[in-house]
Structure 1
Amino acid sequence: MSKNVDIKNLNEIVEKTIHAIESGKKEIFDISEKARNECKEIEDELLELKNKVLKTIEACEKLERLEINSRQRLLVVSRNFNKFSEADIKEAYEVANDLQVRLTLKRHEEKELIKQRNNLEMRYKRSKEVVLKAESLTSKVGVALGYLSGNLKGVFEQLEDMQQRQFLGIKIIKAQEEERQRVSKEIHDGPAQTMANIVLKAELCDKLLDMDKERAKNELRLLKEIVRNSLKDIRKIIYDLMPMSLDDLGLIPTIQRLVINFKKETNVKVDFVVNGESHIKESIIQLTIFRIIQEALNNIKKHAKANIVLIKLDIGMDKIYIKIVDDGIGFDVNEKVNSLDDKNGFGLYSIKERVDLLRGKIDIESKKDKGTKINVSIPLCEEEEQYV
């Protein structure tokens, strides 16, 4: 969907969607009715079939009794053939044989009827499930139609803002994943590698203790130095993730520490100037100011190729003003700040969003080969309470 959405076209799309859902609802209702009718027909057929099965079972039981009696009669006649005539013996045999055939056929009929009954019960069960699902779907479609056909006033006016939030959400997720990858790489290349080295050094020291104690002492000294450096790396990673010194030392010392680390890493000259007393009470504003400066310095380190940076804080009674200036290569402001295209960085957009969330103002000036200037103002005091 494009950024500038045609509201009229959207309205037409919604109307067509409602029409399609209404047509679908009618078709679902027809399916439901057909399924109900089929269920009724199957139910009637099943009742009739059950009666047939019951009658067949009763007929089988009756034939079984007659067949048993005929076999007993045949047995008596056969044993006492001198008392009975040949016609009596023939009649007894024919009766027994006839009942046996009739019983076999009736049992087969019973078996087939039971099979039909079971199949019909399965059909009834499936038809009943279709009815229940169709009724449930009809109800859900009705709810959806209720929402779509209800009061849509103000929805389209919010679409552009929702779209921006969606893009921002995607950017935030990507930034989080990039940050996780960065932290993972830092841990892998730093503390993880160091820990592996420590294990090897410890194993070497263990072997040297019995062979060369002096060399073992030297290796232990090296091992201590490696542990110290690893501890520094871990503390740096933790500090980048969450500057605990904000609570312990306050905003200004935390920024000073950030600046010192930046200068060590980049050899860029940084002037940090503070005017006014630091009376910022709300931790969310302190953290936002710190993150703005941290993000700006990260962008300078990655892209600006600057030699000199100025960071200036003017802390007033009702607002705090932040100015960040560098003499780097500059960039196209509209492309980097206002665009949400995947090719552009997230840093400056992140700064802008942080400022907007605190109802502040931001102005970014930059030209190619002429450096960058960022001016930010954030309300304090009474307005500060709105962010709690």
Structure 2
Amino acid sequence: MDQDAPTILETLIEETRAELENTQRELKEIRLTVTQSRSELEKLTQRNAQITAQLRQMQANLESLPRADIKAAYDAAQDAQQRLFAMRGQVEKLQGDQTNLERLAEYMRRNLQTLEAMAAEQAPARGGAGGDGKPMIVRIVEAQESERQKLSRQIHDGPAQALSNFVLQSEIAMRLFEKDQDLARQELANMKSAATATLQKIRDFIFDLRPMMLDDLGLTPTVKRYVDAFKDKSGIATTLTVTGQERRLESVREIMLFRGLQELLGNARNHAQATQIRVSLDTDDTRVRVIVEDNGKGFDVEAAFSGPQRTIGLAGLKERIELLGGALQIDSQPGQGTRVVMDVPAGDAA
């Protein structure tokens, strides 16, 4: 098994690199399609403006024009409006797809960097087995697949469902234009409201998936924003205390600590039934420490690290922290709340 572990890691890196290259190819293609669609949209916009101007001229001479010419002009105007509306929707969808692919490519680049860092820095641990007898790299692969399944469910239940509704609403609106333009406008207004709400959900989803400010500004500003957002959405009284130096860390350390904080806050909200949470972040020259305390119902720590499910949750977090040369300390008892400390070496500056 020890001999197979490095091969598994190398295969995982190769597969991730191949997926990234495929995503980049798709991104290049969709950028070209967006450019072409924008050009077509501009032509349709100009065409619609010309037809509108012609209609205004006709309105001044309606009595002298044949009814057939008037009907043909209005039919052409309606057709131009429908084409313009459809093209605008197509461009907006393509732009949304482009943004999502760009986010995905960035996420995969960071994921590849993390895997390569593990291969370079944790070579002695590749063949090491965890408490359930599985090699560490196998547990890493399982954790990655678990995250992919979770991501797939979230996309299916959220953005994918919303886009399906938009397609249906757009078809309804286009049909209403032929019968009742007032109802069509109301349907478009409903679509706009739904699109605004969905856009905010997608932004929240992207931030949870991979906040860009983690790459741009680092761990401390991202933690501040995330804790504020968590407090607003959960309604739980949550405080954050930041001490020590505010500096950049290696990307893999910032990612691990941020993901750990996400998981701990999620546990406090979803399982502990906490009403108060205290978060502290302390950074010095050699160590970074994140502490999450809650007044929830607590749990049996030993039970959380035993049994067939130990590769997920806190057990998985403990292993990821240890991969960085750090330690995870958990103090909890049923009915007495929970205190979790993530303590990792600061490493070299980013």
Question: Which TM-score band applies after superposition, normalised by the shorter structure?
Answer: 0.5 to 0.7
Contact 2:278 2:293 in 1 (8 A): yes
Contact 1:313 1:320 in 2 (8 A): yes
Q: Which residue of 2 aligns with 1:35?
A: none
Contact 1:194 1:230 in 2 (8 A): yes
Whole-angstrom CA distance in 2 between matches of 1:327 and 1:169: 35
Whole-angstrom CA distance in 1 between matches of 2:333 and 2:198: 41
| Greater Cα offset, 206-215 or 305-314 | 206-215
One-letter amino acid matched to 2:236: V
The alpha carbon displacement at 1:356 in A equals: 1.3
Whole-angstrom CA distance in 1 between matches of 2:276 and 2:323: 30
Q: Which residue of 1 aligns with 2:239?
A: 271
Q: Deviations for 1:48-84, whole angstroms, at most 9, x for unmatched residues? A: xxxxxxxxxxxxxxxxxxxxxxxxxxxxxxxxxxxxx
Say what the alpha-carbon RMSD is for the aligned residues.
2.6
Q: Which residue of 2 aligns with 1:346?
A: 312
Correspondence list, 1:40-189, <5 A: 161-162=128-129, 164=131, 166=134, 168-169=136-137, 171-189=139-157
Q: What are the ranges of 5 or more consecutive residues in structure 2 without an aligned counterpart?
A: 1-124
The alpha carbon displacement at 1:209 in A equals: 1.7
CA 1:317 to 1:173, structure 2 compared with 1: closer, same or farther past 3 Å?
closer
Contact 2:327 2:343 in 1 (8 A): yes
Contact 1:296 1:347 in 2 (8 A): no
- Identity value in percent: 36
One-letter amino acid matched to 2:263: E
The alpha carbon displacement at 1:330 in A equals: 0.8
1:357 matched to 2:316? The reply is: no
Aligned partner of residue 134 in structure 2, secondary structure: helix
Whole-angstrom CA distance in 1 between matches of 2:144 and 2:345: 28
Q: Which residue of 2 aligns with 1:221?
A: 189
One-letter amino acid matched to 1:192: A
CA 1:333 to 1:185, structure 2 compared with 1: closer, same or farther past 3 Å?
same
Q: Which residue of 1 aligns with 2:294?
A: 326
1:300 matched to 2:271? The reply is: no
Whole-angstrom CA distance in 2 between matches of 1:285 and 1:178: 21
One-letter amino acid matched to 1:355: I
CA 1:191 to 1:163, structure 2 compared with 1: closer, same or farther past 3 Å?
closer
Contact 2:139 2:311 in 1 (8 A): no
The alpha carbon displacement at 1:288 in A equals: 1.8
Aligned partner of residue 267 in structure 2, secondary structure: helix
One-letter amino acid matched to 1:314: D
Whole-angstrom CA distance in 1 between matches of 2:143 and 2:232: 25
Please say which structure displays the higher CA radius of gyration. 1
The alpha carbon displacement at 1:162 in A equals: 3.0
The alpha carbon displacement at 1:307 in A equals: 0.7
Q: Which of 152, 155, 158 in structure 2 is aligned with 1:190?
A: 158
One-letter amino acid matched to 2:174: D
The alpha carbon displacement at 1:290 in A equals: 0.7
Q: Which residue of 2 aligns with 1:377?
A: 343
CA 1:169 to 1:336, structure 2 compared with 1: closer, same or farther past 3 Å?
farther
CA 1:344 to 1:162, structure 2 compared with 1: closer, same or farther past 3 Å?
closer
Q: Which residue of 1 aligns with 2:180?
A: 212
Aligned residues: 225
Contact 1:336 1:345 in 2 (8 A): no
Q: Which residue of 2 aligns with 1:107?
A: none
CA 1:265 to 1:342, structure 2 compared with 1: closer, same or farther past 3 Å?
farther
Q: What are the ranges of 5 or more consecutive residues in structure 1 without an aligned counterpart?
A: 1-157
Contact 1:183 1:237 in 2 (8 A): no
Whole-angstrom CA distance in 2 between matches of 1:179 and 1:284: 17
Q: Which residue of 2 aligns with 1:317?
A: 285
Higher helix content, 1 or 2 = 1
Q: Deviations for 1:189-234, whole angstroms, at most 9, x for unmatched residues? A: 2112211211111111112223222222221121122222222333
Q: Deviations for 1:10-43, whole angstroms, at most 9, x for unmatched residues? A: xxxxxxxxxxxxxxxxxxxxxxxxxxxxxxxxxx
TM-score (normalizing by structure 2): 0.58
Q: Which residue of 1 aligns with 2:332?
A: 366
Higher RCO (CA-CA < 8 Å; seq separation 6+): 2
Aligned partner of residue 208 in structure 2, secondary structure: helix
